[in-house]
Amino acid sequence: MKKILPAILCLVFAVSASAEKKDWGYVTGSLESNSNVYVEDAVNDFYPSMQPQLKDGNIFASNNYLKVDWYKDRLSAGMQMEGYFPSLVGYPVAQNNMTLSNIYVTWKDKSYSVTAGTFYDQFGSGLLFRSWEDRMLGLNNALLGARATYSWQDKVAVKAFWGVPRLGKIDDNTAMMGYHDGFFGFGLADVQVAGADLSVSLSSLLGMDVMSLSVEGSVLNKHEALNDLLLAAGCRDNNIGWSGRVNMDYDGFFLKGEYVDAGKQIVSVPAAMNGRKAENGNAQLVEFGYNGRGLGLTVTGRRMHRMNQKIYNYVGTDPGYGSAANMLSYRPAMSTQYTYMLMTLNPYSPEIGDKVIKSGEIGGQIDAFYNFRRGTKIGGKRGMKVHASFSSWYSLDENGGTAGGGLLFRDFSFDVEKQWTKKFKSTLMYCMQDYNKHHEMTGLYIGQSHVVVADMLYKWTPKLSSRLELQYLASKDDQKDWMAGLLEVNLAPHWSVFASDMWNHGSTKLHYYNAGVSFSMAHLRVAAGYGRYRAGYICSGGVCRAIPAYTGANISLTASF
């Protein structure tokens, strides 16, 4: 790899240096580097020496990503390199690895395109198939293969691909330690995926101007040489899934429906029954609502039954089976994704039905946004924005019915955003969450929390502003009450400084403190901080990022060119 990197850089240099003299196209790219220095913190139950990737007293870890693309008319090519020195705590384990992870070349004409190499794709909502990259999760299930697309005007679009998902074993030692995220995306799975997707716009074909109506369908085949145990359980080497979809939009009203048959999926059963059985997986998704006249209303319903599509199925102790990266489709939690600190303490993880006692989930969510315009009685001089959301999710019983299911998660939230004066703006938010902490087992344990947040922004001068967040969580369950505060001072357009504390005064008496500074200029952003972190999602200094639990200092750099 040390020889490959300079060679690639020389090539990039040569292309870019010549590009302005000859029309050799242009080069663009990005760099992301996140590094941590860890500190032992018994209070946070964090010990660097206990982390699988930190060996021999090492307290430093760093994740780095470099992506470069070259465009010349209809031709484009690119690559991505990743370096882990080693990987950050909380991420899938990687030990001092640097690799050329993605490489591709694409020819794209007005109506067709052909790609060879690494690519990402998705069918519909992703319930049947999705390949994507999420660096915060350490997930990259890109396919290495070939893809072709063709579209006839805006009436018909078709695509087909074949590829091998990115998934591989990093370190046998960590696997033997029983660390179940011992997989990372460096290698290729011994699995082949082929798929095709067709989309027909009926409204374009029939010349309908006011309505948009399309029907879509996809088919996916996954080939994996299975062992006798899985074959005996009812699985097949070639597993075929398909989906059908309809999308409609008329004068702001919209309706989407999707049905997915995922083929045979593996279900964990007691070891006395060989540990696995196969059942047919399927899902139904409906979304409808209205967007217009300052109102945004979305209603979503979804049922998932045995939707356990993994890249790699295996019976035994192989550590890769349970890895977060071992994923071939996208089955997200369909509830509000909160970002305020105390609202993210009990996030919902959907029930995909991979265990025998619960075969999936059913539920829905409603979101309503409304903008009280300026000059109206409620909106006042500067307007006011309100938002309410509700979601409720229940498990399916062993037979796919709801009779034996129970509540998995329920939440309700309401927020009001108001610009009071030219200088002062506030957001007030309330959130209630019911969560079943034992939903993976047969028992039922419902915890409930109520959170209130006041988020206030004040502009002292056109360039100097400060933002204050005050949060309180009231609960009779788990760790009882919490409070949190964040103060951010911004000096536009480059600087931001912040300090925050999250205090569990109801039970553990623990403080999760955090302070940092960020500088951004044009393509570059550098941020540094120190704190005690709980796993969660934090937004400050201009950027939102998910963080794992640890104590220590961090520095991050992002740049694009």
Partner 1 sequence: MRTFLLSLAAMFMAVSAMAQVPSVKVENSKGEAFDTAQLLDEGTPMIISFWSTTCKPCIRELEAIYESLPDWLEEVDFRVVAVSTDDSRQLAKAKSFAEGRGWGSDFTLLFDKNQDFMRAMNVTVVPHVFVVDAKGKVVFSHTAYVQGGEVELFEAVKKSVRK
Contacting partner 1 within 4-23 (CB under 8 A): 5-6, 9, 12-13, 16-17, 19-20
Q: Report the nearest approach of partner 1 to the CB of residue 55 (Å).
A: 15
Instruction: Choose, by CB under 8 A, the member of 236, 355, 437, 459 that binds partner 1.
Output: 459
Query: Per rule CB under 8 A, is residue 420 in the interface with partner 1?
Result: no
Which tokens is 388 given? 């309410």
Query: Per rule CB under 8 A, is residue 27 in the interface with partner 1?
Result: yes
| DSSP output for 360-398 | EEEEEEEEEEEEE-TTSTTTTTT-EEEEEEEEEEEEE-T
Are 554 and 542 in contact, with CB atoms under 8 Å apart? no
Query: Per rule CB under 8 A, is residue 95 in the interface with partner 1?
Result: no
From residue 475, give the alpha-carbon distance in Å to each of 140, 352, 409, 428, 437.
37, 28, 16, 19, 14
Query: Per rule CB under 8 A, is residue 543 in the interface with partner 1?
Result: yes
Q: Report the nearest approach of partner 1 to the CB of residue 98 (Å).
A: 6
Contacts of 190 (CB under 8 A, 6+ apart): 224, 225, 312
Cβ proximity to partner 1: between 357 and 539 the closer is 539
Q: Report the nearest approach of partner 1 to the CB of residue 284 (Å).
A: 14
Query: Per rule CB under 8 A, is residue 495 in the interface with partner 1?
Result: yes
Cβ proximity to partner 1: between 44 and 465 the closer is 465
Query: Per rule CB under 8 A, is residue 66 in the interface with partner 1?
Result: yes
Binding mask 336-355 for partner 1 (x = CB under 8 A): -x-x----------------
Q: Report the nearest approach of partner 1 to the CB of residue 539 (Å).
A: 5
State CA 536 to chain mean position distance.
13
Instruction: Choose, by CB under 8 A, the member of 18, 23, 26, 402 that binds partner 1.
Output: 26
Q: Report the nearest approach of partner 1 to the CB of residue 274 (Å).
A: 35
Instruction: Choose, by CB under 8 A, the member of 464, 476, 508, 509 that binds partner 1.
Output: 464
Query: Per rule CB under 8 A, is residue 29 in the interface with partner 1?
Result: yes
Q: Which part of the chain contacts partner 1 (CB under 8 A), choosing from 165-173, 260-268, 456-464, 505-513?
A: 456-464
Q: What is the footprint of partner 1 within residues 294-323 (CB under 8 A)?
A: 294-298, 300
Cβ proximity to partner 1: between 270 and 493 the closer is 493
From residue 346, give the alpha-carbon distance in Å to each of 399, 449, 550.
28, 9, 18
- 133-134 and 129-131 as β-strands: parallel, antiparallel, unpaired? unpaired
Q: Report the nearest approach of partner 1 to the CB of residue 536 (Å).
A: 12
CA distance 497 to 393: 39
If you count them, how many residues does the chain have?
561
Instruction: Choose, by CB under 8 A, the member of 54, 157, 191, 384 that binds partner 1.
Output: 157
CB atoms within 10 A of CB 383: 17
Instruction: Choose, by CB under 8 A, the member of 234, 447, 542, 548 that binds partner 1.
Output: 542
Q: What is the footprint of partner 1 within residues 353-392 (CB under 8 A)?
A: 367-371, 373, 385, 387
CA distance 375 to 500: 37
Query: Per rule CB under 8 A, is residue 126 in the interface with partner 1?
Result: yes
Cβ proximity to partner 1: between 74 and 505 the closer is 74
Q: What is the footprint of partner 1 within residues 398-417 (CB under 8 A)?
A: none
Instruction: Choose, by CB under 8 A, the member of 229, 269, 416, 457 that binds partner 1.
Output: 457
Going 127 to 133 to 138 to 139, the CA torsion angle's sign is positive
Q: Which residues pair with 140 in a beta bridge?
A: 133
Contacts of 366 (CB under 8 A, 6+ apart): 297, 298, 299, 300, 389, 390, 391
Q: Classify 143 as helix, strand or coil.
A: strand
| DSSP output for 411-454 | EEEEEEEEE-SSSEEEEEEEEEEEEETTTTSSS--EEEEEEEEE
Contacts of 461 (CB under 8 A, 6+ apart): none
Rg (CA), the chain: 25
Q: Which part of the chain contacts partner 1 (CB under 8 A), choosing from 115-123, 179-187, 269-277, 312-320?
A: 115-123
Question: Which residue has 């005996």 as its token pair?
Answer: 232
Q: Report the nearest approach of partner 1 to the CB of residue 554 (Å).
A: 14
Q: What is the footprint of partner 1 within residues 254-273 (CB under 8 A)?
A: 254, 256
Cβ proximity to partner 1: between 198 and 357 the closer is 198
Q: Report the nearest approach of partner 1 to the CB of residue 97 (Å).
A: 11
Query: Per rule CB under 8 A, is residue 65 in the interface with partner 1?
Result: yes
Question: Which residue has 């192989």 as its token pair?
Answer: 318
Instruction: Choose, by CB under 8 A, the member of 525, 532, 534, 551 that binds partner 1.
Output: 525
Instruction: Choose, by CB under 8 A, the member of 36, 48, 67, 394 that binds partner 1.
Output: 67
CA distance 428 to 417: 7
Tell me the site size for partner 1, rule CB under 8 A.
Answer: 106
Q: Which of 164, 165, 167, 312 has its CA nearest to residue 230?
A: 312
Query: Per rule CB under 8 A, is residue 520 in the interface with partner 1?
Result: yes
Instruction: Choose, by CB under 8 A, the member of 151, 280, 284, 448 that binds partner 1.
Output: 151
Are 555 and 35 in contact, with CB atoms under 8 Å apart? yes
Are 516 and 525 in contact, with CB atoms under 8 Å apart? no
Which tokens is 344 given? 């993210």
Cβ proximity to partner 1: between 480 and 545 the closer is 545
Q: Report the nearest approach of partner 1 to the CB of residue 558 (Å).
A: 5
Cβ proximity to partner 1: between 254 and 430 the closer is 254
CA distance 396 to 72: 52
Report the Cα–Cα distance between both ends of the chain, in Å, rounded.
23
Q: What is the footprint of partner 1 within residues 208-227 (CB under 8 A)?
A: 212, 214
Query: Per rule CB under 8 A, is residue 148 in the interface with partner 1?
Result: no
